[in-house]
Amino acid sequence: MTMCHLFKCSKCGTELVGPIVEIGKSLPANGSKYRYGSPVGCTASGACVVSKPQVEYAGTGDRIPPAPKLAVPAAPGPKVPQKWVPDGANGYTASALYSHLPVVPQAALIQALGVLFEQHQIPLLGAVFDRFDVYADQQDEAIAAGPKPAEKFLTVPLVLARLDGVMEACGAAAVEWNVSVIDRNLDGNSANLTLPHKITVGGATYRFHPEALNDLVNPRGGHAVLPANYGAAIAKAIALSVADTPGEDVQGPNHAYYFWSAGQNRGINVVLKRDTRQILTVYYRTAVAVWWRGQLAPQLRLDRAV
């Protein structure tokens, strides 16, 4: 038993046990009435719970003190998606973070994507998405083996693993991150996502056009370039622009630079807007294969391989 403050419900008369009396602190006057800010509330009946009647101070008494209030749980942190890394002994081992993404942008992106995917199910765009199906999804079937249209949806690990692969392939390039509005490839929805904003190669800084950013998150069809090829191609394209090398296809300030992925056996087109220094788009292009099979100097083939 402990000396506690006592109260009485003004509606039903039930005695209510309040906080423990603190020595040295003055006591309220008996009969003082409380409605708002009362340390206790009557739960003797449903009517009292609903109407929240006044309680009246009734002095002190030796009683069993009420249980302490439960601590308010801390707000949950961002959900860290699991990726899988190869392990010689066990096949694959779970790993929490993506090592090529800065921690702060990564956490912000995880949180924003988590909210988006709780509210919306975003279908993947284009059957070639399985060309970079190298995520946490080891038991998932590739799109080519699934139903048509593919019943597959965007997830947090899909987005982060793609960005992680692109950033790794960018090498020593300096990348600046910022919040961008993504509203083209999210099935009619939009989200403010922390994404790569600018990339600096050889002293030249290029920023990502909204189309390129949308295709980083959920690429359309042929824009689903393998992350390693994507990052290497944009870094090389910017370096070519710095050297004032014209693109293979030039339309005003827009220069299209061709690259070849031996692993994918496909040609990649990187389009830069050189006057305003923007990365407009990156995609697989059949015209690059024709160019690659032509009479190219050995050094050019070496420079354009990714």
Q: Give the pLDDT score at 137.
A: 40
Give mean pLDDT, residues 46-62: 82
pLDDT digits (tens, 9 = 90+) for 124-173: 875 444 433 443 343 344 444 444 544 578 888 888 888 999 999 988 78
Are 100 and 49 part of one and the same domain? no
Can you tell me the distance from the alpha carbon of 187 to that of 218, in angstroms, rounded to the nearest whole number? 10
Mean pLDDT of the chain: 83
> Which pTM was predicted?
0.66
Can you tell me the distance from the alpha carbon of 197 to that of 207, in angstroms, rounded to the nearest whole number? 6
Among 63, 91, 115, which residue terminates a domain?
63
Are 95 and 9 part of one and the same domain? no
Are 297 and 163 part of one and the same domain? yes
Residue 76 lies in a domain: no
Residue 88 lies in a domain: yes
Are 55 and 108 part of one and the same domain? no
For residue 268 the two structure tokens come to 């990649």
The pLDDT of residue 261 is above 60: yes
Residue 125 lies in a domain: yes
| pLDDT bracket for residue 87 (50, 70, 90) | low
Are 26 and 150 part of one and the same domain? no
Range(s) of the domain holding residue 48: 2-63
Reduce the secondary structure of the chain to three states and give it as a string. Answer: CEEEEEEEECCCCCEEEEEECCCCCCCCCCCCEECCCCCCCCCCCHHHHHHCCCEEEEEEEEECCCCCCCCCCCCCCCCCCCEEEEECCCEEEEECCCCCCCHHHHHHHHHHHHHHHHHCCCECCCHHHHHHCCCCCCCCCCHHHCCCCCCCECCHHHHHHHHHHHHHHCCCCEEEEEEEEECCCCCCCCEEEEEEEEEEECCEEEEECHHHHHHHHCCCHHHCCCHHHHHHHHHHHHHHHHCCCCCCEEECCEEEEEEEECCCCEEEEEEEECCCCEEEEEEECHHHHHHHCCCCCHHHHHHHEC
Handedness of CA 94, 95, 96, 100 (dihedral sign): negative
Residue 69 lies in a domain: no
**pLDDT above 70 as % of the chain:** 80
Are 59 and 87 part of one and the same domain? no
Residue 23 lies in a domain: yes
Give mean pLDDT, residues 267-284: 95
Are 23 and 160 part of one and the same domain? no
Give mean pLDDT, residues 259-283: 94
The pLDDT of residue 190 is above 90: yes
pLDDT digits (tens, 9 = 90+) for 64-78: 877 665 566 666 666
Q: Give the pLDDT score at 70.
A: 57
**Greater model confidence, 128 or 79:** 79
Are 43 and 173 part of one and the same domain? no
Residue 73 lies in a domain: no
Number of domains in the chain: 2
Are 90 and 221 part of one and the same domain? yes
